[in-house]
Amino acid sequence: MRIDLNCDMGESFGVYTLGHDETAMPYVTSINVACGFHASDPNNIVKTIKKAKRHNLAIGAHPSFPDLVGFGRRAMAASHEEIYADVVYQIGALMGICKTEGLTLQHVKPHGALYNMAEKDSKVAAAIAKAIKDVDPNLFMICSCGSMMVQGAQNVGVKYVEEAFADRAYTQEGTLVSRREQGAVIHDPQVVAARVLTMITTGKVQTIDGFAVALKPQTICVHGDTPGAIDMIKAIRTSVVQEGIEVRPFSV
């Protein structure tokens, strides 16, 4: 049994620092690097890629809507053609920087509102998937477990893996509880670690109202910018390894 741990990184901007990238890197296996549309800038992206190379991490692009002010969390009325073009552009930027370090991309994971829209709309997901496949058919698309993203990826024929979120509560429909609701984010590292272990070993997760829904993730998203994030990531990694589960990038 094996699992990949992915984490969003490279979201600092100019002189402003966000997240605990370098502290979290030893405990994850894949990272999703902001491409400049919701966070980051060319210099910060270069720095993030260099750090990732030192830690031998698999690298993915983390494209979003062009929304620096809203951190990519605001839905935009973009056409499928615009979404396609934006995703192609952002993948290309990150690919170019990776090339300067002799690295290749493993995957693409949409960010924020773009991810949320793709979860619910297979046509939005297909626009993202087509962009990924057209840039490089060897790239994987990270999709929310059992969502319309999976259908969109399948319709286009892009490679994909399904992911679950370590510290987010789920509904009976298998979707994430809105951050606006109480209990949407779980903060206890031991509780989160136990949930992740259950997801991996049983393919199920307990919902916010006590039911069980099926999830079969190949990668688990851990957050590196929330309070206590590093302790949580360490707890997850420790519990998984102690259970004899191999932690490595999903493409290896």
pLDDT digits (tens, 9 = 90+) for 132-183: 999 999 999 999 999 999 999 999 999 999 999 999 999 988 888 888 888 8
CA distance 167 to 192: 6
Q: What is the pLDDT of residue 47?
A: 97
The reported pLDDT for the residue numbered 125 is: 98
What confidence score (pLDDT) does residue 131 get? 98
What are the structural domain ranges in the chain?
Answer: 2-247
pLDDT at 179: 81
Return all residues near 240 (Cβ < 8 A) that are at least 6 apart. 3, 5, 193, 196, 197, 200, 247
Q: Residue 65 class from Cβ within 10 Å (0-12 exposed, 13-18 middle, 19+ buried)?
A: buried
On the 0-12 / 13-18 / 19+ scale of CB atoms within 10 A, 117 is buried
- What pLDDT, on a 0 to 100 scale, did the predictor assign at position 117? 96
Q: Are 109 and 32 in contact (CB under 8 A)?
A: yes
Superfamily of 2-247 according to CATH = Glycoside hydrolase/deacetylase (3.20.20.370)
Determine which helix (DSSP H) or strand (DSSP E) holds 127, and give its type and residue range.
Answer: helix 122-135
Give the bridge partners for 140, in sequence order.
107, 159
Q: Please give the pLDDT value at position 180.
A: 82
d(CA 169, CA 192) in angstroms, rounded, equals: 10
What's the pTM value of the predicted model, to 2 decimals?
0.95
Confidence at residue 173, expressed as pLDDT on a 0 to 100 scale: 87
Under-70 pLDDT residues of the chain: none
- Distance, in Å, from the CA atom of 28 to the CA atom of 244, rounded to the nearest integer, reads 16
pLDDT at 228: 82
Q: Tell me, what's the pLDDT at 226?
A: 74
